[in-house]
Structure 1
Amino acid sequence: MSNSATRVLESRVFAAPIATVWAQIRPAEFAFWKSAVAAAAIEGGAAGEVGSQRKLTFIDGAVQRYQIVELSDLAFFLTYELIESTPAVASSAAIHTIRLRKVTHDNSTLVEWESDYSSAGDETASVVEDSRCKKREALADLAKALGAK
């Protein structure tokens, strides 16, 4: 088996100010992701604290635990790492960053959701496709949470 690494990036522009979008992203509880996340809990620290953990229970029954590794209110980004998953995922490591950028032309917000995966074996293609689909779904849910039609 060979090891491989891959990066997945999805992005979307939202017709909302960056502070409004950041309020949805910063808690890292994914409350906006109604089509996939059933429950979220803060564990091992306080909200907004680097090193704190989030336990997400998905509608399909999967449970994942993430650790916040970087958070910037100045640069509007959140980085978190998958530390546990039931059932197990096909990657051996996954680090995700959600970054917001202000679009000055019309005060909208560009959201970029990037994930870096390491895996052993032939799972890379399925991991990439699954990640891409989930990000698109989550960004569509974020648009609904922000009041987009």
Structure 2
Amino acid sequence: MSAIPTSTSVSESAVIEAPFSAVWHLIKLSSFSTFWSKLSKSETVKGTSPETDIVKWTFADGTELDVKQEEHSSIDHYITYSVISSQPALSYTSVVSTIRLYPITSGKHEGHTYITWSGNFSSDADAGVIEDAKFKRREALADLAKAASKQ
């Protein structure tokens, strides 16, 4: 039986009915557990170099991911991160994700926030990995919307 060909990228988006500043304030890798219900803990990894931002995400099911912030822009309002280690091990080699926010400045959603969360996986990621990533992002965006609306 051969593997089913699949795209190795995923992108989810949402309009969050909260001011841009309330949403952007929550987009720090070490703060994800404050809004994402799947995470029980998100904490900065000690002992790394000052130039390297690594955060350990502990999921409710016990899975631990070490994520490294690759880019951060307070001007263009995005962060890019990669998974550098996982317990248990991932079934694919790598993934790089970007979360990008845009203030909605006109129309019926004026004053709210548009957000995208994309992921680009290595070619050994199968359809199950991509589907899982899609649903995790959707759940996290819904959780983010709830948290931002309480700000």
TM-score tier by shorter-chain length is 0.7 to 0.9
Amino acid at match of 1:119: S
Partner of 1:130: 132
* C-alpha RMSD of matched pairs (Å): 2.1
Which consecutive aligned stretches of 4+ in structure 1 deviate over 2 angstroms post-superposition? 1-5, 26-29
TM-score by length of 2: 0.85
Deviation at 1:125, TM superposition (A): 0.3
Are positions 1:110 and 2:114 aligned together? yes
Counterpart residue number, 1:75: 76
Residue 4 to residue 28, structure 1, CA distance change in 2 (3 Å):
farther
- C-alpha distance in 2 between matches for 1:85 and 1:142: 24
Aligned-residue sequence identity (percent) comes to 35
Residues of 1 paired with 2:9 and 2:53: CA distance?
24
Maintained 8 Å contact 2:17/2:149: no
Give the Cα–Cα distance (whole angstroms) in 1 for the partners of residues 7 and 93 of structure 2.
10
Structure with the largest fraction of strand: 1
Question: Which residue number corresponds to residue 89 of structure 1?
Answer: 90
Between the two proteins, the alignment pairs up a number of residues equal to: 142
Partner of 1:52: 53
Aligned partners of 2:60, 2:19: CA distance in 1, in Å?
Answer: 30
Show structure 1 runs of 5+ residues with no match.
Answer: none
Change in Cα spacing, 1:63 to 1:90, as seen in structure 2 (3 Å) is: same
Map Cα deviations across residues 75-133 of structure 1 (whole Å, 9 max, x no partner): 1000000000011112211001000011111121101000000032xx42011100001
Q: Provide structure 2 residue ranges, at least 5 long, that are not aligned to the other structure.
A: none
Please, what TM-score do these two structures have when normalized by structure 1?
A: 0.86
The answer on whether the counterparts of 1:95 and 1:116 sit within 8 Å (CA) in structure 2 is yes
